[in-house]
């Protein structure tokens, strides 16, 4: 909490109905009391006799409540929350209590949106409540999930809203997603292990104390619990260091670039996605060259990324002089690409396969379908819609709604769009695991402990410094920028390939045993330049000058 050292702490349990919040709250309070902590379990709207919250709770669960409209109902919840904050939460915190709060204002937003309350009205309600919280913020919000209750249309819509909140609010205070599907002791263990990461120093000893079932946590338990890593996971971190060392040795023109025989023989992407040659070309030669209006930036990025091939972009520049949507003509662009194909030129990158739309596609050649796809996005005013999104996941959902764009491509494209000034999302708020990354994760972990791929990537990314330190590895980051979710996602994909040679006994789900692409040193140097909003380009320039003596 943003309070003095004598104040207590606030932990919130959030999520849909029936995910087990009350059971987990009871278990957590029982364990903390055994450790001599003063604990109070509260809930929103509240159950204290004679309180507004108890009246609202009873009214909300009364079958005849249908006579009130949903906006008024949510206002009643806000009133109950404020009363609880002022009459119970603040006084208890000031007396050093640890409060476990079942629900937060998040539920007002999620259930309000799903029930049809206008967002502008919900924002005003919640702004009022947040004003009463003042400087008091949760030490951690634990967002509980369980698959058996996430099957109805309503629950899926609620999860969507909760995820948006989690992505946005984690910038203000710690948020952790916790899968509550097994025994409550397993869920509690995960929560206790994450509490120290929420700046709760008084809870650090809990990792070695009693769990809910009163059994001592084994001393050899992995700090990644509930994940159980394999030896490929150790290779993951060694690979990250070795591949980043290649980046810096090439930057300083030092030879040999590596002594790793696998890296010398096969092609692997950089540890940082934005440092790859194609991404660098996109950032320097496509995004920030030309008109910076939303339509033009979006058009250039999507046109480049659909083909993802530098030579194709330079073909457009050679034939047109410049690329801009204002002068776009389907027939002109189609003619350029068709002529190149007929001449035997490749127009698509081999990095990943672009979908064709199927045998029954009306376009004949898939490049025509992709040109029309970009047209439809611009006609739908998608650039402005994306610019207005509150989170990367929201922008991802918009892209994902277009034909042939699956999860992988939509995530790649929203990341590329985020290199521009069209958006300014944190790369730490949202991730989608591609096929290669999913395979790498399955090689790195023998047991997921109920976590999904995205949650695993989050955990691994957040633990990067601890993982490097635990192995005595020195990882030189990207000029002060730590590995982001997109980078750790990519590293799982690259380790999937690397382990085909390093750990052939781990076959993965795709059963691949060979790495197709061989490494060939490209003699053309890259003048590295990153999105200006990252604030690292001056550091890059100075480090390159120091390394090369120029």
- Looking at per-residue pLDDT, the higher value among 185 and 23 belongs to 23
Mean pLDDT of 183-208: 57
Instruction: Determine the 3-state secondary structure of 197 from DSSP.
Output: helix
Mean pLDDT of 106-114: 93
- Spatial separation of the C-alpha atoms in residues 299 and 301, rounded to whole Å: 6
- Spatial separation of the C-alpha atoms in residues 3 and 455, rounded to whole Å: 30
Residue 330 in contact with residue 324, Cβ under 8 Å? no
**Average pLDDT of every residue of the chain:** 87
Neighbouring CB atoms inside 10 A of 331's CB total: 8
Say if residue 1's pLDDT is above 50: no
Residue 46 in contact with residue 83, Cβ under 8 Å? yes
Instruction: Determine the 3-state secondary structure of 120 from DSSP.
Output: helix
The β-bridge relationship of strands 175-179 and 140-145 is parallel
Tell me which residue of 318, 287, 288, 321 sits closest to 303, measured CA to CA.
Answer: 287
E-only strand ranges, 198-328 = 228-229
Residue 415 in contact with residue 282, Cβ under 8 Å? no
- Looking at per-residue pLDDT, the higher value among 171 and 125 belongs to 125
Structure tokens at 30: 């029982």
Where in the chain are all domains bearing CATH 3.40.50.300? Answer: 9-208
Q: What is the pTM of this model?
A: 0.62
Mean pLDDT of 285-291: 97
Q: Which residues make Cβ contacts (< 8 Å) with residue 20, sequence separation at least 6?
A: 144, 146, 180, 184, 187
pLDDT of residue 277: 96
Structure tokens at 178: 């916790």
> Tens digits of per-residue pLDDT, 203-236?
333 332 222 222 222 334 457 878 899 999 999 9
> Tens digits of per-residue pLDDT, 504-546?
999 877 778 889 889 998 888 899 999 999 999 999 998 888 8
Q: Which residues make Cβ contacts (< 8 Å) with residue 23, sequence separation at least 6?
A: 184
Least confident segment among 17-21, 35-39, 271-275, 473-477: 35-39
pLDDT of residue 418: 98
| DSSP letter string, 9-62 | EEEEEE-STTSSHHHHHHHHHHHHHHTT--EEEEESS---TTSHHHHHHHHHTS
pLDDT of residue 208: 28
Question: Quick one: pLDDT band at residue 186, thresholds 50, 70, 90?
Answer: confident
436 HSE (CA, 13 A, CB side)? 20
Mean pLDDT of 491-495: 98
Q: What is the largest CA-CA distance in the chain?
A: 82
Question: Quick one: pLDDT band at residue 154, thresholds 50, 70, 90?
Answer: confident
Q: What percent of the chain has pLDDT over 90?
A: 64
Residue 264 in contact with residue 343, Cβ under 8 Å? no
CA 221 to chain centre: 27
- Spatial separation of the C-alpha atoms in residues 382 and 405, rounded to whole Å: 14
The DSSP letter of residue 362 is T
pLDDT of residue 194: 66
- Looking at per-residue pLDDT, the higher value among 75 and 6 belongs to 75
Say if residue 314's pLDDT is above 90: yes
Mean pLDDT of 175-201: 72
Mean pLDDT of 172-185: 86
Say if residue 392's pLDDT is above 80: yes
pLDDT of residue 125: 94
Q: Which residues make Cβ contacts (< 8 Å) with residue 68, sequence separation at least 6?
A: none
pLDDT of residue 360: 60
pLDDT of residue 358: 55
Question: Quick one: pLDDT band at residue 63, thresholds 50, 70, 90?
Answer: low
- Looking at per-residue pLDDT, the higher value among 48 and 202 belongs to 48
Structure tokens at 540: 């890059």
Q: Which residues make Cβ contacts (< 8 Å) with residue 458, sequence separation at least 6?
A: 177, 431, 485
Tell me which residue of 430, 431, 419, 421 sits closest to 391, measured CA to CA.
Answer: 430
Mean pLDDT of 258-273: 96
User: What CATH architecture is 9-208?
Assistant: 3-Layer(aba) Sandwich (3.40)
Mean pLDDT of 423-430: 94
Residue 333 in contact with residue 369, Cβ under 8 Å? no
Question: Quick one: pLDDT band at residue 449, thresholds 50, 70, 90?
Answer: confident
pLDDT of residue 336: 97
| DSSP letter string, 493-514 | HHHHHHHHHH-TT--TTT----
pLDDT of residue 209: 27
pLDDT of residue 546: 80
The DSSP letter of residue 275 is G
């Amino acid at each position: 909490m943003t309070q003095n050292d004598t104040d207590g702490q606030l932990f919130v349990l959030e999520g849909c109905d029936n995910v087990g919040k009350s059971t987990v709250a009871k278990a957590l309070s029982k364990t903390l009391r055994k450790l001599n902590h003063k604990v109070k379990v509260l809930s929103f709207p509240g159950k204290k006799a004679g309180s507004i919250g108890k009246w609202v709770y009873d009214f909300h669960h009364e079958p005849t409540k249908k006579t009130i409209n949903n906006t008024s109902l949510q206002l009643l919840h806000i009133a109950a929350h404020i009363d609880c904050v002022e009459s119970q939460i603040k006084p208890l915190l000031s007396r050093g209590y640890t409060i476990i709060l079942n629900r937060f204002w998040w539920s007002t937003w999620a259930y309000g949106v799903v029930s049809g309350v206008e967002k502008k009205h919900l924002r005003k309600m919640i702004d009022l409540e947040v004003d009463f919280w003042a400087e008091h913020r949760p030490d951690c919000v634990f967002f509980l999930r369980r698959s058996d209750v996430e099957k109805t249309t309503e629950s899926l819509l609620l999860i969507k809203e909760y995820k948006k909140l989690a992505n946005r609010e984690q910038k203000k205070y710690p948020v952790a997603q916790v899968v509550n599907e097994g025994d409550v002791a397993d869920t509690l263990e995960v929560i206790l292990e994450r509490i120290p990461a929420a700046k709760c120093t008084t809870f650090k000893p809990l990792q070695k104390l009693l769990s809910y079932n009163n059994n001592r946590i084994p001393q050899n338990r992995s700090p990644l619990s509930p994940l159980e890593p394999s030896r490929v996971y150790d290779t993951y971190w060694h690979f990250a260091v070795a591949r980043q060392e290649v980046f810096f040795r090439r930057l300083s023109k030092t030879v040999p670039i590596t002594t790793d025989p696998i890296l010398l023989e096969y092609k692997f992407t950089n540890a940082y996605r934005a440092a790859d040659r194609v991404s660098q070309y996109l950032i320097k030669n496509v995004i920030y060259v030309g008109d910076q209006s939303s339509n033009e930036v979006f058009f250039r990025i999507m046109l480049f990324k659909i083909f993802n091939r530098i030579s194709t972009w330079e073909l457009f520049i050679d034939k047109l002089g410049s690329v801009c949507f204002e002068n776009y003509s389907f027939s002109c662009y189609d003619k350029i690409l068709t002529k190149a194909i007929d001449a035997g030129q490749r127009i698509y990158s081999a990095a990943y396969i672009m979908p064709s739309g199927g045998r029954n596609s009306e376009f004949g050649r898939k490049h025509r379908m992709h040109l029309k796809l970009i047209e439809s996005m611009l006609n739908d005013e998608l650039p402005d819609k994306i610019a207005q999104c509150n989170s990367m996941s929201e922008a991802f959902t918009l892209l994902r709604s277009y034909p042939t764009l699956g999860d992988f491509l939509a995530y790649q494209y929203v990341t590329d769009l985020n290199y521009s000034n069209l958006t300014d999302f944190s790369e730490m708020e949202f991730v989608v695991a591609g096929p290669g990354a999913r395979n790498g994760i399955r090689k790195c972990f023998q047991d997921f402990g109920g976590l999904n791929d995205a949650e695993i990537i989050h955990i691994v990314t957040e633990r990067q410094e601890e993982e490097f330190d635990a192995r005595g590895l020195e990882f030189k980051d990207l000029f002060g920028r730590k590995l982001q979710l997109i980078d750790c996602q990519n590293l799982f994909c690259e380790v999937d390939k690397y382990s085909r040679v390093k750990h052939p006994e781990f076959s993965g789900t795709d059963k691949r045993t060979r790495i197709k692409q061989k490494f060939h040193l490209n003699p053309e140097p890259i003048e590295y330049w990153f999105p200006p909003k990252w604030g690292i380009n001056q550091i890059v320039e100075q480090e390159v000058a120091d390394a090369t003596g120029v």
